[in-house]
Amino acid sequence: MLPSGLPNIVGDDEEITRFLTQSSHYNSAMPKPAAFMPDPKSRNKSVFRCGADPERIRELWEKTTNFQQTLKAAAVCKTAEVRNAGVDVIASEPPDAHANIEGWPWLVNDPELQKAKQKEIAAVIAQKSALVML
Amino acid sequence: MADNKLTLLKAPIIEAVLDIDCDMPPGKEISTLEPAAHEKLRPQYPKVRRIFVQTHQIETPPGEAPKVKLHQAVHGLQFLSEDEKQLVQFRAQGFSFNRLAHYTSLDDYLPEIERTWQIFVAVAGPVQIRSVRLRYINRIMLPMPEKSPLQLEEYLKVCPRLPDEGNLTFTGFLNQHTAIENETGNQVHIVLTNQPQENNMLPLILDITAENNALAEVENWPCLLARIQALRDLKNRVFRNTLTDKCLNQFQQP
Amino acid sequence: MRGSSAVSPEAQTVRFAVSAVVERAERSQALFGDKAAAISQLQAMAIECAEPGWDGDEASAINPLAVFVAENFVRALPNFIPLPEFAPEPDGSISLDWIPSRHRLFSISIGTNNRLAYAWLDGADKGHAVARFDGDRIPQRVVEGITSILSHGYASVRTA
């Protein structure tokens, strides 16, 4: 059990949430693939295990943010869908309820092909994600 | 004159450029090639310049002084001869060889082109050739008659025309044509424009680029050479057929 | 990429003359209006993400060379292709997205070189590839990929 009280292993049924601070990371239909592209430094993508409840989302955001960005929306996806896309969700606390999408393909010799593979995965996750406006 | 032989005593060439665009190896930044490239090129090309792409961001927050930020990235490297009349360029897109006036003949420069191209291949490791372009920029001085308008058709077989020529006079023009050579598939881009009058002369810029877009191996110099020569032939033909004999004869006077 | 490798003053003359024509065309709402608006959006996004950490995390600033290439890409888009949506990516690249529905999308990443990474979803089909953009012409398989995703009929997108 983690300090937050959540299980160590992120279950397939759990909903994970990506905070969206850029209006260009979503449109009226859905989150965009760019919202899920991994950070090249950390090689993962930060998410929270808080589901789609707007109050819970805002609460976690206020606990973890430095307030330099404004939370505009959230992308919510089932962990099983993320795993079906070919990557994994690994708990990573602190902060509370934090996890990372890990296991992205990295091809040092061909960064563009690497990017293309990552983009396909990110597109699949975006497609399976619900958009929560805040 | 045969197509591939165009010998002018005083050719109006201001600049000749050979571009060889390539697929570059993934993940290689052009700026990292400078030390290795300059080590090999320094004897003939002691000067180096970096080509940047820059963006200037000006923020004007209300009630505050404007803030200016500059962002830039290296887009290529230029290696120049001491007199800066000859350049070798290592670009993010490939290789270039530039020769400025005084220009003699492509045959005179081909050995150096081959030598510097091989250096580019060794240092930058291009994967394949995408296109080859041969560009010649000519500056042709046309004498302005004292008492009547200049008749461009005396000097140009393919020249700009005005509607209502009795009542309109040119103050400037820009003609641009793109064509494909049916037999070879080579393309040619022709730009004709003028510069402001200088004393009693009108400078005309005739800019001809011959281009081949077939894929090729970087190691096959004979194939690349044949391609360059075919482009030269096309360029010469376009040049000869753009200008009248009266114009061409100017370049035969020492 | 779109720049010239010629260095003489006369090359500059040609460049200015041709640029003046392009500029006049781009001032025309009829000829260029939508693209001008798209390029403005792109530039506004680049300014918004001009500092590292724009995402509240470790994102790199949008690379000015990526903006330059993306502008050229927009200019080169055939008129029959709708303009994309733009999004910043954490490595400093710019994503150009065509998203006609949740089940069909085409997304291109534009970075600092001429190799464009792209991916698509088409119902149950999906894929990814890399294509080269010379600064003037959109690669044919990218044009085909976008038009395939945007078409109303069922079509699979294949790599070349």
CA distance C60 to C90: 6
Distances (CA, A) of A12 to A7, C66, C67, C71: 12, 37, 39, 41
Say which of C56, C93, C103 has its CB closest to residue A69: C56
What secondary structure letter does DSSP report for B160? Answer: -
Output the CA torsion sign for A34, A36, A38, A39. positive
pLDDT at position C157 is 45
Split at pLDDT 50, 70, 90, the class of B240 is very high
CA distance B13 to B232: 13
Residue C95 and residue A124: Cβ atoms within 8 Å? no
* Mean model confidence pLDDT for chain B: 89
pLDDT at position C30 is 64
Mean pLDDT of B166-175: 85
Q: Is B23 on the interface with A (CB under 8 A)?
A: no
CB atoms within 10 A of CB C42: 24
Res B142 pLDDT > 70: yes
Split at pLDDT 50, 70, 90, the class of C18 is confident
Query: Rounded to the nearest 5 degrees, what angle is found at the Cα of B239, between the Cα atoms of B238 and B240?
Result: 95
**Domain layout of chain A by residue ranges:** 15-133
> Tokens 């902060």 identify what position?
A95
* Gap from A112 CA to chain B (nearest CA, Å): 7
Res B212 pLDDT > 50: yes
pLDDT at position C3 is 61
Q: Nearest-CA neighbor of B128 among B220, B21, B217?
A: B217
Mind listing the pLDDT tens digit for each residue in B32-81? 999 999 999 999 999 999 988 776 767 777 888 887 777 677 889 999 99
With contact defined as beta carbons under 8 Å apart, do B86 and B80 qualify? yes
Res A94 pLDDT > 80: yes
Mind listing the pLDDT tens digit for each residue in B189-204? 999 999 988 888 999 9
Tell me which of A81 and B1 has the higher pLDDT.
A81
Mean pLDDT of A86-92: 97
Residue A119 and residue C88: Cβ atoms within 8 Å? no
By CA distance, what is B57's nearest residue in C?
C47
By CA distance, what is C111's nearest residue in A?
A112
Res A12 pLDDT > 60: yes
Res B4 pLDDT > 70: no
CA distance B69 to B91: 25
Mind listing the pLDDT tens digit for each residue in C69-125? 999 999 999 989 999 999 999 999 999 999 999 999 999 999 988 889 999 999 989
- Percentage of chain A beyond pLDDT 90 is 83
Task: Round the CA-based radius of gyration of chain A to a whole number and report it.
Answer: 14
Residue C3 and residue B75: Cβ atoms within 8 Å? yes
Residue C1 lies in a domain: no
Mean pLDDT of B157-178: 86
Mind listing the pLDDT tens digit for each residue in A13-48? 999 999 999 999 999 989 999 999 999 989 999 999
> Could you tell me the residue range of the domain that residue C123 belongs to?
9-150
Residue C92 lies in a domain: yes
Residue C41 lies in a domain: yes
Res C32 pLDDT > 80: no
ipTM of the complex: 0.92
Expressed in percent and rounded to 5, the helix, strand and coil fractions of chain C are: 40, 20, 40
Contacts of C71 (CB under 8 A, 6+ apart): C39, C42, C43
Res B3 pLDDT > 70: no
Residue C28 lies in a domain: yes
CA distance B33 to B79: 12
